[in-house]
C-alpha cells in the first residue's frame, strides 16, 4: 500500500493524515483491513508504536474500527465527498459588497514603499528609544498577574479610561467622564466602529481632501457616499460643506493630515454650528495633537462642542508606538451604548495586560517625561529637516511650515508629476526613501509635492538625507535661481 508522509509535525501525525487521505480517496476501501502494525512500521521505517498511535486515533475519529484479534478495519462511512466545485484561488468574485468595495479601494502601501533604504522619510515610522522600551517592559511585567487574565469588558479597563480622562483634561482641554471613554485597538478601529454605529450604505460622509487614507478606505468599504471637501491653510474649507444630507464629517483639526494646516477657531466654531444645524456628527481625529512646538497644543474641537456632536479619536501610536495598537474614543452621550455594543461585537474588548500597563505608565512620571522628550526630539528633527531643506533644496521647494507633528509637506517648483516620479526613483537609487503627496489626494494636488516624515531619523541623518534630496532635485529639476 502506498502511503506518503508529508514531513509536517511528528511521525504519528503524518501517518494519521496519510491514512485518512488513503481512506477518503478510497485507496483503502470501506471494510478493508489495515496492515498489521509491525508490517506497516517496517514498510515506512517508523516505530511500531507510531503506527499503533495512528490506528487508535483513526478509531477514535470513526475512520476505522478495531476488532480484537482480527485487526483494524476501515469503516463504511468514510467515503470521499463528490467534488462538483473547485475554488480558484484568485478569480473568485467578492462575496459581499463590503469585500468588493474593499478590493476596489485597496491602497495601503502609500507610506511604506521604501522600507530597507538607508534613509526612509516615510510617514508614521515610530519615534522609539531604549528608555521607552525599558519603561514599557517594566510596566507590562508588572501588569502580568493572574487577575489580569480574564476578559476586560468591552469599554476597556476602568483604570485606563480614568487615566485618559486626566490626560485629556490636562493636555487637550477636554473634560469628560470615564463612562464616555471607549478603549479601542487604535484609531483605525475608531473609524470602523464609527462607520458601523452611524452609517448605512450610501449615507453621506465628508472627508478632507487631501486626507488620511486609513479613514477614507474604511468609509469607502462601508459603502459611504463620500464627499471630498478641500483644505486650505486654515484647514477644512467649511464654506464648501454640502448644503444638506451630511451624516458625518471627518476632520484632523490640530494638524491636518497631510497638509499640516491647523483648523482656525472661526472654522472650528463654523464646523460645530454646521453639525448642530444639519444634525450631523463630527469625527475629530487628533492623531498628533500632542506635538505642537510653538505653544501648548491647541484645545481640541471636542472641548468647544456644546451639543455633543463630536466623536473624539485619540491614539497612542504617536506618543508611544504604533505596535501598541491602543487608542480611544470620547463618545457622545447619545451614542455611548451603540459604540460599546459595536466594540463588543467586533472583538469583545481590547487586551487587558497592555491596558493595565498603559494605565500605570500614564500615571507615572515617566509618561510626562516621555512626552516632553518626544516633543524635544521631534522638534530637533523637524528643525534639522527645515534647515536641511533650506540649505540644500531651497530653490526647488516651498516648505509648508507648521510647527507641529511628525511630518512636513514640501511643494516642488517648476515640476511635473513625471519629474516627481523621476525624483523619487533617483532618490531610491541613492537609498533615500521619498513619498509623493499625490496618493493622499482624491483629486489632483495643485502641484507635485512630497510628504516628508522625520520621526524616525536623527538630525544628522536628516541633514544627510536632505543633502541627497538636494542633489537629486538638482539632477531632475531646472534651477530657478
The Cα angle at residue 440 between residues 438 and 442, in degrees rounded to 5? 90
Nearest approach, Cβ of 26 to a copy of itself (angstroms)? 13
Nearest approach, Cβ of 149 to a copy of itself (angstroms)? 4
Beta bridge partners of 282: 249, 310
**265-294: contacts with a copy of itself (CB under 8 A):** 265-266, 269, 272-273, 276-277, 279, 281, 294
Asked whether the beta carbons of 281 and 275 are under 8 A apart, the reply is yes
36 is an interface residue for a copy of itself by CB under 8 A? no
114 is an interface residue for a copy of itself by CB under 8 A? no
Residue with cell 507590562: 140
196 is an interface residue for a copy of itself by CB under 8 A? yes
Instruction: Give the residue from 409, 399, 414, 391 showing the smallest Cα distance to 466.
Output: 391
When binding is defined by CB under 8 A, the residue of 71, 73, 113, 124 that contacts a copy of itself is 124
108 is an interface residue for a copy of itself by CB under 8 A? yes
Nearest approach, Cβ of 42 to a copy of itself (angstroms)? 24
Q: Among the candidate windows 26-34, 150-158, 369-377, 459-467, which touches a copy of itself by CB under 8 A? A: 150-158
**68-87: contacts with a copy of itself (CB under 8 A):** 75, 77-87
Phi–psi pair at 380, nearest 5 degrees = -65, -40
Q: Give me the 210-249 binding string for a copy of itself, x by CB under 8 A, dash otherwise.
A: ----x--xx--x-------------------------x--
308 is an interface residue for a copy of itself by CB under 8 A? yes
Nearest approach, Cβ of 232 to a copy of itself (angstroms)? 16
- Strand pairing class (310-315; 235-236): unpaired
202 is an interface residue for a copy of itself by CB under 8 A? no
372 is an interface residue for a copy of itself by CB under 8 A? no
Query: Total number of residues binding a copy of itself (CB under 8 A)?
Result: 132
166 is an interface residue for a copy of itself by CB under 8 A? yes
169 is an interface residue for a copy of itself by CB under 8 A? yes
Closest CB to a copy of itself among residues 234, 395? 234
Instruction: Give the residue from 184, 189, 159 showing the smallest Cα distance to 350.
Output: 184
146 is an interface residue for a copy of itself by CB under 8 A? yes
Closest CB to a copy of itself among residues 165, 423? 165
When binding is defined by CB under 8 A, the residue of 71, 242, 322, 439 that contacts a copy of itself is 322
Q: Which residues contact 390 (CB under 8 A, 6 or more apart)?
A: 399
Asked whether the beta carbons of 318 and 290 are under 8 A apart, the reply is yes
Q: Among the candidate windows 27-35, 143-151, 368-376, 434-442, which touches a copy of itself by CB under 8 A? A: 143-151
Give the number of other CB atoms < 10 A from CB of residue 232.
Answer: 12
336 is an interface residue for a copy of itself by CB under 8 A? yes
Beta bridge partners of 310: 282
Asked whether the beta carbons of 217 and 106 are under 8 A apart, the reply is yes
Closest CB to a copy of itself among residues 192, 209? 192
Closest CB to a copy of itself among residues 97, 376? 97
- Whether cis (ω within 30° of 0) applies to the bond prior to 210 is yes
Closest CB to a copy of itself among residues 124, 394? 124
Q: Among the candidate windows 41-49, 142-150, 282-290, 434-442, which touches a copy of itself by CB under 8 A? A: 142-150
Query: What's the CA gap between 2 and 44, in Å, rounded?
Result: 10
The DSSP code for 298 is P
Query: What's the CA gap between 198 and 451, in Å, rounded?
Result: 32
Nearest approach, Cβ of 67 to a copy of itself (angstroms)? 18
478 is an interface residue for a copy of itself by CB under 8 A? no
188 is an interface residue for a copy of itself by CB under 8 A? yes
Q: What string of DSSP letters covers 24-92?
A: HTTSS-TTPBPPPHHHHHHHHT--HHHHHHHHHHHHHTTSEEEETTTEEEE-SS--PPP------TTTP
Instruction: Give the residue from 247, 243, 251 showing the smallest Cα distance to 199.
Output: 247
Within 63-212, residue ranges assigned H as helices are: 97-104, 130-143, 158-171, 186-198
346 is an interface residue for a copy of itself by CB under 8 A? yes
366 is an interface residue for a copy of itself by CB under 8 A? no
User: In this structure, which long-range contacts are made by residues 51-56, counting pairs with CB atoms below 8 Å and at least 24 apart in sequence?
Assistant: 51/15, 53/12, 54/12, 54/15, 54/16, 54/19
Closest CB to a copy of itself among residues 1, 94? 94
401 is an interface residue for a copy of itself by CB under 8 A? no
Q: Helix or strand or coil: residue 277?
A: helix
Amino acid at each position: 500500500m502506498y502511503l506518503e508522509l508529508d514531513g509536517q509535525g511528528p511521525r504519528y501525525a503524518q501517518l494519521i493524515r496519510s491514512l485518512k487521505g488513503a481512506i477518503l480517496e478510497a485507496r483503502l476501501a470501506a471494510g478493508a483491513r489495515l496492515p498489521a502494525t509491525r508490517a506497516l512500521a517496517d514498510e515506512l521505517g517508523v516505530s511500531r508504536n507510531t503506527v499503533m498511535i495512528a490506528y487508535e486515533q483513526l478509531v477514535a475519529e470513526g475512520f476505522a474500527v478495531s476488532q480484537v484479534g482480527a485487526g483494524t478495519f476501515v469503516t463504511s462511512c468514510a467515503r470521499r465527498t463528490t467534488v462538483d466545485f473547485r475554488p480558484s484561488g484568485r478569480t473568485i468574485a467578492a462575496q459581499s459588497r463590503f469585500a468588493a468595495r474593499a478590493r476596489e479601494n485597496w491602497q495601503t502601501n502609500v507610506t511604506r514603499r521604501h522600507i530597507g533604504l538607508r534613509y526612509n522619510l516615510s510617514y508614521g515610522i515610530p519615534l522609539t528609544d531604549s528608555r521607552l522600551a525599558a519603561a514599557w517592559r517594566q510596566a507590562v511585567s508588572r501588569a502580568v498577574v493572574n487577575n489580569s487574565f480574564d476578559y476586560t469588558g468591552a469599554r476597556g479597563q476602568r483604570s485606563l479610561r480614568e487615566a485618559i480622562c486626566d490626560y485629556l483634561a490636562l493636555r487637550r482641554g477636554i473634560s469628560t467622564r470615564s463612562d464616555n471613554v471607549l478603549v479601542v485597538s487604535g484609531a483605525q478601529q475608531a473609524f470602523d466602529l464609527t462607520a458601523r454605529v452611524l452609517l448605512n450604505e450610501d449615507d453621506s460622509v465628508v472627508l478632507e481632501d487631501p486626507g488620511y487614507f486609513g479613514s477614507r478606505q474604511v468609509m469607502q468599504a462601508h459603502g459611504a457616499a463620500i464627499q471630498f471637501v478641500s483644505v486650505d491653510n486654515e484647514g477644512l474649507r467649511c464654506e464648501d460643506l454640502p448644503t444638506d444630507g451630511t451624516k458625518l464629517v471627518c476632520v484632523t483639526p490640530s494638524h491636518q493630515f497631510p497638509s499640516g494646516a491647523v483648523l482656525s477657531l472661526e472654522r472650528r466654531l463654523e464646523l460645530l454650528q454646521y453639525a448642530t444645524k444639519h444634525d450631523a456628527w463630527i469625527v475629530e481625529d487628533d492623531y498628533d495633537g500632542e506635538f505642537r512646538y510653538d505653544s501648548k497644543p491647541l484645545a481640541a474641537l471636542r472641548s468647544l462642542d456644546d451639543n455633543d456632536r463630536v466623536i473624539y479619536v485619540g491614539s497612542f501610536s504617536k506618543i508611544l508606538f504604533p505596535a501598541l495598537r491602543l487608542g480611544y474614543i470620547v463618545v457622545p452621550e447619545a451614542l455611548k451604548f451603540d459604540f460599546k455594543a459595536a466594540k463588543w461585537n467586533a472583538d469583545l474588548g481590547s487586551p487587558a495586560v497592555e491596558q493595565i500597563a498603559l494605565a500605570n505608565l500614564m500615571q507615572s512620571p515617566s509618561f510626562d517625561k516621555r512626552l516632553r522628550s518626544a516633543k524635544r526630539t521631534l522638534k530637533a528633527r523637524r528643525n534639522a529637516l527645515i534647515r536641511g531643506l533650506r540649505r540644500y533644496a531651497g530653490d526647488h521647494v516651498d516648505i509648508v511650515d507648521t510647527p507641529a507633528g511628525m511630518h512636513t509637506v514640501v511643494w516642488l517648483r517648476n515640476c511635473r508629476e513625471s519629474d516627481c516620479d523621476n525624483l523619487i526613483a533617483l532618490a531610491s537609487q541613492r537609498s533615500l526613501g521619498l513619498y509623493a503627496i499625490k496618493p493622499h489626494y482624491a483629486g489632483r494636488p495643485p502641484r507635485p509635492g512630497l510628504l516628508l516624515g522625520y520621526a524616525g531619523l536623527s538630525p544628522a541623518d536628516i541633514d544627510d538625507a536632505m543633502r541627497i534630496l538636494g542633489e537629486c532635485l538638482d539632477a531632475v529639476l531646472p534651477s530657478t535661481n
